Amino acid sequence: MKWQLHQLVKPFNGIMLNLHYMAELSAWRATTKVNGYNDWFQKDWNYERRLTLYTEISKAEQLDSQALDYFEFGVCGGHSFKWWLAHNTHPASGFHGFDTFEGLPEDFGPFAKGTMAVALESLDIQDSRAHFYKGLFQDTLNPFLSGYQVGRKKLIHMDADIFSATLFSLSQLYRFLRPGDIIMFDEFAVPKHEFMAFKIFMDSFYIKYEVIAAANNYLFLAIKIV
């Protein structure tokens, strides 16, 4: 291109993209009702509100005793994974954790590639219902899904942090989603990562959903497919 426009614009791409999706997030929040727990507005961040969100979802959807297929993308130290294992007692439930266990595959804001690495063995999870898949989601998810049979209600925890991993996982899960399935996001309010992936996915696949819980000013969010 004669003007080499990319040299003028590219240095500002990140800032402009972030501003664009901040505006999209603001508009989405202003027009989207939360049918359940919502702590908006909070002046501070509190990790314990994530557990409150889990508790409220479990109670409202009666997730403690029914058979579930639980998927977690981004297991890291296993805190959320262990919470759901402890709070769903059905012996037929399946818990599936996907993670590189070698840290982030790319930079994420202030977190450099390789941050959040946790050895799988250190999780020390003995529950026979738990299964783990080590590697990039792009390498592990589709082989798993090739043998997956849809049946039980799905609870999907998106804690992948980065845009690429979140969008990939959602797009591959699309054909397995059924009314009543729940998707949780752990960094929903990060504009050009989980929110951008969510927005593109919903707009591209025409997904109908309702928001059933939000915590820490929409950083933690849960939706239900309708």
Q: What is the pLDDT of residues 187-197, one digit of tens each?
A: 999 999 999 99
Of 190, 160, 180, give the one whose Cα is nearest residue 172: 160
* pLDDT of amino acid 117: 66
**CB contact at 8 A, 212 and 60:** yes
* pLDDT of amino acid 134: 95
Between helices 79-87 and 48-61, what is the axis angle to 10°? 30
* pLDDT of amino acid 163: 93
Six-digit token string for 175: 């054909």
Region 5-225: CATH code: 3.40.50.150
Identify which has the larger pLDDT, 55 or 112: 55
Highest-scoring range by mean pLDDT, 10-19, 24-33, 121-130: 24-33
Q: How confident is the model at residue 137 (pLDDT cuts 50, 70, 90)?
A: very high
Find the mean pLDDT for residues 149-169: 94
Residue type, 54: Y
pTM as predicted: 0.92
CA-based radius of gyration for the chain: 18
Domain boundaries, the chain: 5-225
| pLDDT averaged over every residue in the chain | 92
Whether the per-residue pLDDT at 1 is higher than 60: the answer is no
Rounded distance between C-alpha atoms, residue 131 and residue 160, angstroms: 17
